[in-house]
């Protein structure tokens, strides 16, 4: 991250930094930027995912387009991207879980490897970006259950997709530097390549609507809230180019970030905060057992007053990834609140479930590696 990026706070009066790493104020975000609660649409979805029903996906823009497509069996696409710059951690699994759900609903899946952005923002060359994307991310995507062999799965490098690059150039005709500065906070020290990369992301999101890919259709983009600047810019440009291309403004959902094991946002650049999907089981469970929890200062207080499950990184791990049964989760939460169980109990439970998850991933990784090497040919 360059120096001018570090100086900017993540949430200002009218600005979010997509390249930052601070924890987002979700309530403030929805108030300032007009993101609608996902709870407004969740009842319209048949068989919603646990990320939807548990409030992990908390916000949305124009999701009615997607519920209409689902109800009427209409074509739609799901778009996501990755900027390969580090190891994949368990927080990234949320995106894979969403891609799997949309794939099961019949959506086309588009995954952009943002190698041009990785170079402009992080100085990572194309070869390293490609290697990280395939061997760190895509291998784990496959091991987690995403079917990349289906005809409706599309993976590409930004630098090798002429449709995306050409569209980004065309879109730039209706964007000024003043707009880019107001949205992203770019100042005079920002390099031109970095200023250009948001247009590539807009083109990533809009290109499934080009005639070559079947023409205009609803597109859903599942992202963290830090990516909303890209969503707002994309929706604005889709409207401006509607007459020429027929673009439909894309929909988006916003999921909460996982709290790191140290209490801050989980980040690939902070090893103690994250459980990497390539950690050994021993290292992963060791991190769980040393994680910050919502427990009281003493065992006596815990038993008398109960804990704070909603402030606990271990309970969050159970909610996001490790327990599918809502009743089981509620039981654990109530026992924590009443002091019937202590932090050691939950850490032991999480360690056992995490071991099961990692054993399953590890058993599939060799085959996933073979499949990944057939991609991007």
Average pLDDT on 115-132 reads 93
In the predicted model, is pLDDT for residue 7 greater than 70?
Answer: no
In the predicted model, is pLDDT for residue 28 greater than 80?
Answer: no
CA distance 352 to 160: 43
Most distant CA atoms of the chain, gap in Å: 68
Counting beta carbons within 10 angstroms of the beta carbon of residue 174, is it exposed (0 to 12), middle (13 to 18) or buried (19 or more)?
Answer: exposed
3 state DSSP class of 350: helix
- Domains (range + CATH), the chain: 3-255 (3.40.50.620), 279-372 (1.10.240.10)
Terminus-to-terminus CA distance in the chain, angstroms?
Answer: 31
pLDDT of residue 174: 97
pLDDT of residue 18: 45
Q: Are 38 and 60 in contact (CB under 8 A)?
A: yes
pLDDT of residue 358: 98
Other C-beta atoms within 10 Å of 270: how many? 16
3 state DSSP class of 248: coil
Range with lowest mean pLDDT among 2-11, 87-96, 99-108, 217-226: 2-11
pLDDT of residue 265: 79
CA distance 277 to 97: 14
In the predicted model, is pLDDT for residue 289 greater than 50?
Answer: yes
């Amino acid at each position: 991250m360059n120096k001018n990026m570090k100086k900017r706070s993540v949430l200002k009066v009218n600005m979010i930094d997509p390249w930052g790493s601070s924890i987002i104020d979700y309530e403030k975000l929805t108030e300032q930027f007009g993101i609608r609660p996902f709870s407004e649409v969740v009842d319209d979805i048949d068989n919603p995912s646990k990320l939807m029903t548990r409030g992990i996906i908390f916000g949305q823009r124009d999701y009615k387009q997607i519920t209409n497509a689902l109800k009427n069996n209409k074509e739609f696409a799901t778009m996501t991207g990755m900027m390969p710059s580090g190891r994949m951690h368990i927080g990234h699994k949320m995106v894979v879980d969403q891609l799997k759900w949309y794939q099961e609903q019949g959506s086309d899946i588009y995954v952009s490897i943002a190698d041009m952005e990785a170079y402009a923002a992080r100085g990572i060359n194309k070869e390293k970006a490609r290697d990280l994307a395939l061997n760190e991310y895509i291998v784990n995507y496959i091991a987690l259950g995403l079917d990349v062999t289906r005809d409706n799965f599309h993976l590409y490098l930004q630098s090798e997709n002429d449709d995306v690059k050409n569209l980004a150039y065309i879109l730039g005709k209706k964007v000024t530097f003043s707009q880019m500065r107001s949205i992203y906070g770019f100042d005079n020290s920002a390099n031109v390549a970095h200023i250009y990369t948001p247009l590539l992301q807009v083109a990533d999101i809009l290109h499934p609507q080009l005639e070559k890919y079947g023409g205009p259709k609803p597109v859903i983009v599942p992202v963290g809230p830090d990516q909303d600047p890209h969503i707002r810019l994309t929706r604005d440009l889709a409207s401006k180019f509607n007459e020429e291309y027929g673009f439909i403004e894309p929909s988006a959902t916003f999921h909460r970030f996982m709290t790191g094991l140290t209490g801050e946002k989980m980040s690939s650049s902070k090893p103690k905060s994250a459980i990497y999907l390539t950690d050994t089981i021993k290292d992963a469970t060791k991190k769980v057992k040393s994680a910050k929890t919502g427990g009281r200062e003493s065992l006596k207080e815990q038993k008398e007053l109960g804990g704070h499950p909603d402030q606990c990184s271990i309970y969050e791990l159970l909610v996001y990834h490790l327990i599918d049964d809502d009743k089981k989760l509620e039981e654990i939460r109530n026992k924590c609140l009443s002091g019937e169980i202590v932090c050691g109990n939950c850490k032991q439970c999480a360690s056992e479930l995490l071991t099961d998850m990692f054993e399953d991933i590890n058993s599939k990784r060799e085959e996933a590696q073979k499949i990944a090497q057939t991609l991007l040919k």
